[in-house]
Amino acid sequence: MSEYRGYTGASLTFLKESKVKIGDSVKITEDLTYTGIIMPRYENTDDNHIAIKLKSGYNIGIEIKKIKKIELISSEKIEKKSTSEVKSDSTLPKILLLSTGGTIASKIDYRTGAVTPALSAEDLSAAVPELAEIANIDASVLFSEYSENLEPEHWKKIAEKLDSYAKSDYKGIVVAHGTDTMQYSAAFLSFALAGYPVPIVLVGSQRSSDRPSSDAALNLISAVRFVVESNTQGVFVVMHHNESDDLAVAHLGTRVRKNHTSKRSAFQTIGNDPAFLIFDKKIEQNLKTDFFKQREYNPKLNFDKHVALVKYHPGYNPKIIDFLIKSGYKAIIFEGTGLGHVGKTMYEYVKKANENGLFMGMTSQCIDGRVGMNVYESGRDLLELGIIPLSDMIPETALVKAMWALGNSTNAEEMKNLMIQNIASEFSD
């Protein structure tokens, strides 16, 4: 039944009577004429439409009642080209390409025309021949997951894998990663692998490689070029910078945030400029900071998930704090209003959390600027209740850092010291 996967009722009957199936190339005439590949349907969809993938890479649904004519163009399977071994060049540096999944590691299913997260790291490197001119690439698949499915346990697996290559002869390491939670993984790796001797770059794509507007190739080429030519260390996210087709940037792993759902330039450095510009085969440092100075490598790979990110809002139920205490949480990162405030209804429960030994850190809901809890009386009250201001640390970064600090400390004071220490430029200059 895979030839008609997802089709039921009227749409299934239509396909069978028209003698076409999933994966066939067809020409459909209604008010307009469309040419494309018949796609499978998702579960729980109606039986009144068929889906096709256009040559542009976009999928559309067509109501079967409006179809005047459907013509089979070809039912031949599109064979996947075999991946030939890339010849190494002894004059080029060597890098590792580690695949964890996501859109950048997606491909066309050559039987159905669907985009699936099944592309191996070897295929990914072979699909972009320009890479062979920059470096010799060793490819490895750690796992294949959309990033919304990644948990802190996955972060640790990535960190452990990278740590095992800390003394290798790789010039740098590129991690192919889904974009939805890439900033969280980048933050954890920044703390867990602080001082790593070569650059680590997380790279993804907003649009899959079957679309003409895909950013996959540019992002991957830019990431590889960056780890080869930047002569720096640290964890970065490399992505498109604007709507041009030739400019990518490297963001610090603790200062980056995904700020748009679908733009190629979705990722932005918060509170400062991107660390590096990557364009026209050039790498240009764009941020003045001591972050790029060589540091001693001291891996700390543990974590503890008992941390909550609380976004305060008018009407917030303060009893949720009580629930967190009773549920065994050990730290709370508040995403407060303005300079770092929460309403008075929270005070009793904040005090209780402090008495129970929970670490409490304050960040701001504002995209830019710093927490300043000494400015207003409400902020000073919260300081007295035990909340620690976290300057301009991004709330998501603070959450990850708290998990990491909690997992790598033996007591509350040690954790607090880790949280206020600038380890990987999580506090901007």
pLDDT, tens only, 328-349? 999 999 999 999 999 999 999 9
Residue 103 bears catalytic tag: yes
**222/9 Cα distance (integer angstroms):** 48
pTM, to two decimals: 0.84
Q: pLDDT at position 143, please?
A: 87
Our CA dihedral for 287, 291, 293, 296, rounded to 10 degrees, sits at: -160
| Residue 268 token pair | 């932005």
Which one is predicted more confidently, 125 or 403?
A: 403
In the chain, what are the domain boundaries?
Answer: 2-74, 94-292, 307-420
Fold of 2-74: SH3 type barrels. (2.30.30)
Split at pLDDT 50, 70, 90, the class of 23 is confident
Mean pLDDT computed over 367-391? 96
Choose, from 179, 181, 269, 397, the residue flagged as catalytic.
179
CA distance 144 to 136: 23
Q: Using CA atoms, how far apart are residues 53 and 218, in angstroms rounded to an integer?
A: 23
Q: Could you tell me which of 269, 251, 250, 249 has the C-alpha nearest to residue 259?
A: 269
Q: What is the pLDDT confidence band of residue 121, given thresholds at 50, 70 and 90? A: low
Question: Does 119 have pLDDT greater than 60?
Answer: no
Instruction: Report residue 54's pLDDT band, with 50, 70 and 90 as the boundaries.
Output: confident
On the question of pLDDT at 139 being above 80, the answer is yes
Predicted local confidence at residue 376, as pLDDT: 96
Q: What is the pLDDT of residues 152-184, one digit of tens each?
A: 999 999 999 999 999 999 999 999 998 899 999
Over residues 203-210, the mean pLDDT reads 74
289 classed as catalytic: no
Residues 264-307 have pLDDT tens digits of 888 999 999 999 999 878 899 988 766 667 788 999 999 999 99
What topology is assigned to 94-292 in CATH? Answer: Rossmann fold (3.40.50)
Radius of gyration of the chain (CA): 25
What is the model's pLDDT at position 110? Answer: 42
Q: How far is CA 208 from CA 25, 303, 427, in A?
A: 20, 32, 33
Quick check: 114 pLDDT over 90? no
Q: Lowest mean pLDDT: which of 124-128, 400-404, 410-414?
A: 124-128
Note whether 2-74 and 307-420 share their fold.
no
Distance CA 257, CA 307 (A): 20
Is a pLDDT exceeding 70 seen at residue 84?
no
Residue 328: the pLDDT is 97
Q: What is the mean pLDDT of residues 367-395?
A: 97
The pLDDT mean for the chain works out to 88
Around Cβ 29, how many Cβ atoms within 10 Å?
13
DSSP element (H, E) containing 238: strand 234-240
Q: C-alpha angle 401/402/404, rounded to 5°?
A: 65
d(CA 200, CA 172): 6
- Fold of the CATH domain 307-420: Rossmann fold (3.40.50)
| pLDDT of res. 45 | 73
Dist CA 385 CA 325 (whole Å): 16
pLDDT of the residue at 216 = 77
Across the range 224-252, mean pLDDT stands at 90
More confident residue, 164 or 75: 164
Residue 429, pLDDT > 50, answer yes
Catalytic residue, chosen from 123, 180, 322, 381, is 180
The pLDDT value given to residue 55? 79
State the CB neighbour count (10 A cutoff) for residue 207.
18
Residue 120 confidence (pLDDT): 56
In this predicted structure, the answer to whether residue 419 has a pLDDT above a threshold of 80 is yes
Say which of 21, 53, 171, 258 is annotated catalytic.
258
Of 100, 103, 269, 363, the active-site residue reads 103
* Contact status, residue 233 vs residue 195, Cβ threshold 8 Å: yes
Greatest mean pLDDT among 68-82, 91-105, 391-405: 391-405
Top pLDDT among 110 and 368 is at 368
pLDDT above 70 covers a percentage of the chain that reads 88
pLDDT category at 217 given cuts 50, 70, 90 is confident
Distances (CA, A) of 388 to 25, 228, 385: 61, 39, 9
